[in-house]
Structure 1
Amino acid sequence: MLCAKRDWDKTISYITVNELILTKLDNLVHNHPMETLSEDAKDMINSIKLSYHAHEKTLSLITERIEIEKVKYQISLISDTEKAQREMQKQQEMQNVLSEIE
């Protein structure tokens, strides 16, 4: 879960940086239509957009992983509770048997 949290934080940072860059690029492109930009500039803009979408996808996958970890943890809690209840029941049965023997 901690690893997923670190991945989440890192991806959020990447997305935030990419959003800032995309906002600035959108402002530039608004003033200078894409057709007027050099091929290098177009490639850079497209690369940043692809990176942004890749980080969004990563964030989605990390979110799913965190949800899976939460479910696993809840299942383990239920399992631990059931084990403890069974153990207490066994102890109670043993005490009952010992009481009957005495």
Structure 2
Amino acid sequence: MGKYVPNRAGFTRLATGRKVRQHMLEIGEYWATELRASAPHDTGAYASNITVHAITAEVKGLPRAGVQITARVSYASALEHGNTHIKNPPRPMTKLLDRIRAADPKHQVR
């Protein structure tokens, strides 16, 4: 009986291909919409500066299509970690990550 030899090049084409990348962008947009809805809306600047970009990430030595959700405002870090003016930060991105983990019944997202 033959020995299974994984086709790394074939897997890479599949895992980073156009259809998978498009699917990941759709999922990223879904979660970005959730983040925008739950974000602080004092001025609306935080929510309107949340972006989603396609990326290629390495998982267990193999490239995979993924997305990066970013809040592109200068005070995003203060909303997550606090500072001298924000003692109890709202942590919108942390809460989003908690919701993503909760949506994964087998807790495979880490």
Q: Same fold (TM over 0.5)?
A: no
Q: Which has the higher contact order (CA 8 A, sep 6+)?
A: 1
Higher radius of gyration, 1 or 2? 1
Q: Please report the TM-score for the alignment, with normalisation by the length of structure 2.
A: 0.27
Q: Please report the TM-score for the alignment, with normalisation by the length of structure 1.
A: 0.29
